[in-house]
Chain A
Amino acid sequence: MRRAPVDAERQQLHSTTSLGLASARNRERVLEETCIPIQSDGDIVGARQNGRGLAVQLGFSPSDLTLIATAISELARNILLYAKRGKIILKLVEQGETRGIIVTAHDKGPGIPDISRALEAGFSTSRSLGLGLPGVRRLMDEFEIVSDVGLGTIVTVKKWAK
Chain B
Amino acid sequence: MEVPILKQGPYLIASIQSALSDNDMVRLRDALVEQVGRFRSRGVIVDVTALDVMDSFATRTLRDLGRMIRLRGADTVIVGIQPEVAYTMVQLGLTLEDIATALDLEEGLALLERKTTAPGNETSSRGR
Interface residues of A (CB under 8 A from B): 41-42, 44-45, 48-49, 52, 62-63, 65-67, 69-70, 73-74, 77, 121, 128-129, 131-132, 135, 138-139
B34 proximal to A (CB < 8 A):
no
B53 proximal to A (CB < 8 A):
yes
Give, as a whole number of angstroms, the nearest-CB distance from B17 to chain A. Answer: 13
- Which residue, B52, B55, B93, has most C-beta atoms of chain A within 10 A? B55
Interface size on B, residues (CB 8 A): 23
The answer to whether residues A138 and B19 also contact, given A66-B53, A129-B60 and a CB cut-off of 8 A, is no
Quick check: B21 and A129 within 8 Å, CB to CB? no
1/0 per residue, CB under 8 A from A, across B1-37: the answer is: 0000000000000000001111100000000000000
Query: Nearest chain-B residue to A81 (Cβ)?
Result: B57
Quick check: A131 and B94 within 8 Å, CB to CB? yes
Quick check: A135 and B52 within 8 Å, CB to CB? no
B84 proximal to A (CB < 8 A):
yes
Task: Provide the bound-state CA to CA distance between A115 and B21, in Å.
Answer: 28
Quick check: B88 and A42 within 8 Å, CB to CB? no
Task: Provide the bound-state CA to CA distance between A121 and B87, in Å.
Answer: 19
Task: Provide the bound-state CA to CA distance between A65 and B82, in Å.
Answer: 13
16 contacts between A and B (CB under 8 A): A44-B21, A45-B19, A52-B52, A63-B87, A66-B87, A70-B55, A70-B92, A73-B55, A77-B55, A121-B93, A128-B60, A129-B56, A131-B56, A131-B93, A138-B92, A139-B88
CB proximity to A under 8 Å, residues B66-121: 82-85, 87-88, 91-94
Interface residues of B (CB under 8 A from A): 19-23, 52-57, 59-60, 82-85, 87-88, 91-94
> Lowest 3 A-B CB distances belong to which pairs?
A66-B84, A41-B22, A73-B55
The answer to whether residues A132 and B56 also contact, given A65-B84, A67-B91 and a CB cut-off of 8 A, is yes
Task: Provide the bound-state CA to CA distance between A131 and B20, in Å.
Answer: 20
B91 CB contacts on chain A under 8 angstroms: 67, 135, 138-139
Q: A63-B87, A129-B59 are in contact. List 10 more A-B contacts (CB 8 A).
A: A45-B20, A66-B84, A69-B53, A70-B54, A70-B88, A74-B55, A129-B60, A131-B93, A135-B93, A138-B93
Query: Nearest chain-A residue to B55 (Cβ)?
Result: A73
